[in-house]
Chains A and B, each alone.
Chain A
Amino acid sequence: GQSLEQPSEVTAVEGAIVQINCTYQTSGFYGLSWYQQHDGGAPTFLSYNALDGLEETGRFSSFLSRSDSYGYLLLQELQMKDSASYFCAVSQAGTALIFGKGTTLSVSS
């Protein structure tokens, strides 16, 4: 079967750094994406890794290791507005995204 594993919940305080891990087991792999979803909203694209290494976009970074079938999303200088659900998703050459169950991040002051 195909599966993505990520922690169900993470808590942190404002200003901290948090890392959300994602391990995947899929029949095909083209890249790993991360999405953010606030309650009742649209999943919003954050980042995409097709090659090994770190991609940085402002306060957010994403890492991929294809040999380990592993990636993570790193959020720095946490703000209250970062409280949301974060999903990793594997893409298989332009077709469906396969999603993890999501990680609920709660940021407190």
Chain B
Amino acid sequence: EAGVTQFPSHSVIEKGQTVTLRCDPISGHDNLYWYRRVMGKEIKFLLHFVKESKQDESGMPNNRFLAERTGGTYSTLKVQPAELEDSGVYFCASSQDGGRRWTDTQYFGPGTRLTVL
């Protein structure tokens, strides 16, 4: 079974430019999460989709970040315009749904390393 995949693996852009990150969750996983790790700090939650609906976007830092999950499959995270403090590793994770013991097991992708110059 394929794991969570993310594209691109690395992105280097200049301040003010736009970048779009993509995440393909494990097939059949309704839950999709975005996280970010800024250098030296902990991995922090950005938002959570259940199918195509945003369940929780309390972690989104500001309105320069826009996440979508059309059709409830893959998701994109767009940063526009990018700022220096947006640099970090952006992780996507997915999980199944429904009252099993391992409901909360989230499986992570390898991340996209974003550098804003």
A100 at the interface (CB under 8 A from B): yes
Contact A43 B108 (CB under 8 A): yes
CB-contacts of A33-47 with B (<8 A) = 33, 35, 40-45
A42, B42: Cβ atoms closer than 8 Å: no
Assess whether A94 is in contact with B4, with CB atoms less than 8 Å apart: no
A-binding segment of B71-79, B80-88, B96-104: B96-104
Instruction: Give chain A residues whose Cβ lies under 8 Å from the Cβ of B31.
Output: 94
Is the Cβ of B56 less than 8 Å from the Cβ of A33? no
| Nearest residue, chain B, Cβ from A97 | B106
Q: Quick check: A97 and B45 within 8 Å, CB to CB?
A: yes
Q: Is the interface of B mostly helix, strand, loop or mixed?
A: loop
Classify chain B: how many residues form its interface, as a range.
20 to 34
**Binary contact readout A29-70 vs B (1 if CB under 8 angstroms, 0 otherwise):** 011010100001111110010100000000000000000000
Query: Using Cβ atoms and an 8 Å threshold, which residues of chain A touch B58?
Result: 96
| Residues of A within 8 A of B (CB-CB), count | 26
Contacts of B90 in A (CB 8 A): none
In the complex, what's the smallest C-beta–C-beta distance from A74 to chain B, in angstroms?
Answer: 20
Q: Which of A30, A35, A87, A96 contacts B48 (CB 8 A)?
A: A96
B97: nearest chain-A partner, CB-CB: A94
Residues in A neighbouring B102, C-beta threshold 8 A: 48
Contact flag A101-B48 (CB < 8 Å), given A42-B110, A96-B33: no
The residue in chain B whose Cβ has the minimal distance to the Cβ of A45 is B105
Identify the A interface with B (CB < 8 A).
Answer: 4, 30-31, 33, 35, 40-45, 48, 50, 87, 89, 91, 93-102
Write the residues of chain B forming the contact surface with A, with a CB cutoff of 8 angstroms: 3-4, 31, 33, 35, 41-45, 48, 55-56, 58-59, 91, 93, 97, 101-111
A/B interface sample: 23 pairs, CB < 8 A: A4-B42, A35-B108, A41-B110, A42-B91, A42-B111, A43-B91, A45-B106, A50-B101, A87-B42, A87-B43, A93-B104, A94-B31, A94-B103, A94-B104, A95-B55, A95-B56, A96-B33, A96-B45, A97-B93, A97-B106, A99-B35, A99-B43, A101-B41
